[in-house]
Structure 1
């Protein structure tokens, strides 16, 4: 019977933004709070399934119904049958949608530290780190559902994506696929998206960081040149450039080593551009690849697509102090309407 008692984090009126009664979709903070809440709803959906909570015992419904969404479809993992995503429709009168609101929202959860989904979630997180998440069954399922609902909705402008942690990686790759292959630019709200660029960010000496980045960028440019010359490979430049006009929203916390690499990634790119034409040329090549991905591709013929490499993005950076990794990486921080934050837009030139 104890299993049927919901954790407090699952209960909307205890943990969610219950005081956000009226949503102004033209208000960026409102959009952030609502979408983070709906993503949390996907976590709770999986807890409801896992703990056999149904009817009045289920806890997921308020996480989206409060904001006039209704659940259309759940997206389940074929290997462990866990719910890792869901499709929602915003209830509104025809022709009465706000400019900055979706008709459909597809949301994806991240890692859950509970069985039976933990082993699969961890495995997918490792695949994400090594840039091979695009080969996973979960991503293929997500891409298929995104393509389906874009067709149903009548275009990409009617469908938004949202995700947290691993779910952000899935949403990001699904959106990149739609943008690069079909020219569809989906609005994407990505909370604590994983990045493998955060290692150098921990170095406390800015000049040393920049120097290491310059060496790394030069090595990548040489590997690209070798690959093109000796293996007749074209690289990913055209695909990268095709994404230049797409502007996903990345919600990152400087204390979160999983997502904070995005701050460093874009800051270092700007510094390389400022150093002159030669370093800017190197950066344009290097920013599209990782050494790890290039080595895997060249030596072992493994296609590697690190999802954190983006031409353009809007970074929304949490300025509140975090006392633990759990707090810095958790999604709860993002549904605080009064969250201190600042945003910066990086566009690929």
Structure 2
């Protein structure tokens, strides 16, 4: 389905019946497309299951493509990539459109039917944020993320020595802990406590993440969880 979104993006907007890979084999049909209002490119698509009712099969799948360096798409895609790098994708029109569409789908069109999210690369970042927002609003959407960008610790993916990588991460965490203990006023600590409660609630939503160890954009997930486990084993859970 993700491959189909890339194909749809390459097709002309007037094409109503593009050749999409293997959808018929799985009894899914394309029913709608998400279009970026700035460059008019297709960045997502919605598929509906038309086969026999079976357990663990979603009624709808909403899939989001990643970056395409084509003449029509590269400007808006790179802009959103930059927002992800700066941890500010929330104010992008594409993400807002995706969030509003998924919200309307799960609250009105789907009528209680299961809706799954999927995304690749930049599209995985969109699916992740949309899924998180839907969970905050009380809708648990099963979500599959392929090569999602891990933007907060890009340098970790470039360091191959695990001991050095762990040392850098541990130092960063201890410094953050020190600043948190001694450098924050009461009002900030109260806000942070509220954030912690929100995070604890959100931790019940677990997306499925697939990453490639040689991809610097997403492999930092591996380092993050590996280093986190080491800290837990060392009794440094508070850091």
Q: Same fold (TM over 0.5)?
A: yes
Q: CA deviation at 1:186?
A: 1.1
Contact 1:161 1:186 in 2 (8 A): yes
Q: Distance in 1 between matches of 2:86 and 2:178?
A: 21
Q: Which residue of 1 aligns with 2:143?
A: 188
Q: Distance in 2 between matches of 1:85 and 1:237?
A: 32
Q: Which residue of 2 aligns with 1:222?
A: 178
With the length of structure 2 as denominator, give the TM-score of the two structures: 0.90
Contact 2:3 2:21 in 1 (8 A): no
Q: Which stretches in structure 1 are left out of the alignment for 5+ residues?
A: 1-37, 283-349
Q: CA deviation at 1:232?
A: 5.7
Label 1:136 to 1:44 Cα distance change in 2 as closer, same or farther (>3 A).
Answer: same
Q: Which residue of 1 aligns with 2:196?
A: 237
Q: Which residue of 2 aligns with 1:266?
A: 225
Q: CA deviation at 1:211?
A: 1.7
CA RMSD of aligned residues (A): 2.0
Contact 1:159 1:187 in 2 (8 A): yes
Contact 2:149 2:218 in 1 (8 A): yes
Q: Distance in 2 between matches of 1:80 and 1:39?
A: 20
Q: Which residue of 1 aligns with 2:30?
A: 71
Q: Which residue of 2 aligns with 1:47?
A: 10
What's the secondary structure of 2:129's corresponding residue?
A: helix
Q: CA deviation at 1:240?
A: 1.5
Q: CA deviation at 1:219?
A: 2.1
Q: Which residue of 2 aligns with 1:32?
A: none
What's the secondary structure of 1:280's corresponding residue?
A: coil
Q: Which residue of 2 aligns with 1:296?
A: none
Alignment size in residue pairs: 234
Q: Which residue of 1 aligns with 2:123?
A: 167
Q: CA deviation at 1:215?
A: 1.2
Contact 2:58 2:116 in 1 (8 A): yes
Q: Distance in 2 between matches of 1:90 and 1:227?
A: 51
Equivalent in 92, 103, 115 of residue 51 of structure 2: 92
Q: Which residue of 2 aligns with 1:81?
A: 40
- The worse-fitting range, judged by mean Cα deviation, of 217-226 and 162-171 is 217-226
Contact 2:106 2:115 in 1 (8 A): yes
Q: Which stretches in structure 2 are left out of the alignment for 5+ residues?
A: none
Label 1:70 to 1:138 Cα distance change in 2 as closer, same or farther (>3 A).
Answer: same
Q: Distance in 1 between matches of 2:201 and 2:210?
A: 23
Q: Distance in 1 between matches of 2:208 and 2:141?
A: 11
What's the secondary structure of 2:26's corresponding residue?
A: coil
Label 1:117 to 1:228 Cα distance change in 2 as closer, same or farther (>3 A).
Answer: farther
Q: CA deviation at 1:101?
A: 1.4
Q: Distance in 1 between matches of 2:186 and 2:175?
A: 15
Q: CA deviation at 1:280?
A: 0.7
Contact 1:76 1:83 in 2 (8 A): yes
Q: Distance in 2 between matches of 1:42 and 1:48?
A: 10
